[in-house]
Amino acid sequence: MGSNLSFEAANELIQSTTANAGTFINDFLLVIILIGLMLFFMFRSGRRGVVSLTVAVYVGVTLYTLFPFKDAVLGATAGAPLASLSLMLVMLVGFTVVPYVILSRVVVTDFLGRSGVIFLLMISFLLTAMLLASAYHILPIREFYAFTPMLDALFAPKEFFFWWFISPLFALFMFAK
């Protein structure tokens, strides 16, 4: 009888671990895909693109946050939460693309000196983390997707938002020559 209980407990442990591993992998798969997209973009755009994108993301998030007509624009999609989220993302991307185009024309390419793959990987991770933290605090992303408690612990606390938000700038500062 005692061995039957141990078998059931072990079976429950395996099932819960497998389920937790599946959601963990799904969440981190999203992060890995975002980092991969950032890396692809940065390899294609070079040092100028890295600096331009980093600064443009800051400008885009700031413009989105301060946009005075945001509530009026989003009010048109009040009945459809997915349409509202899509419109928020379109506005955020729009507010980021315009500064990126401007900055990519004026940023000096020698700013980072000889930055390697390690730097690109780090800045891709930090920009992805910044965007996820911004999504947690600016966009209602958690209403549409349930992240694992581990990602919630990393990005949900308001105390961490500042640190995630400033980390890409700190990385640029550290690698500037």
Dihedral, 86, 24, 137, 143 alpha carbons, nearest 10: 50
> 56 and 100 in contact (C-beta within 8 Å)?
yes
Q: What is the pLDDT of residue 89?
A: 87
> 107 and 52 in contact (C-beta within 8 Å)?
yes
pLDDT range class, residue 1, cuts 50, 70, 90: very low
Q: What is the pLDDT of residue 67?
A: 92
Q: What is the pLDDT of residue 9?
A: 54
> 107 and 48 in contact (C-beta within 8 Å)?
yes
d(CA 35, CA 125): 6
* Residue of 118, 106, 131 lying closest to 51 (CA atoms): 106
Task: Give the pLDDT confidence of 92-121 residue by residue, as tens digits.
Answer: 999 999 999 999 888 776 555 556 778 888
CA distances from 78 to 26, 45, 87, 170 (A): 29, 38, 11, 38
Q: What is the DSSP letter of 58?
A: H
* Residue of 154, 123, 170, 125 lying closest to 32 (CA atoms): 125
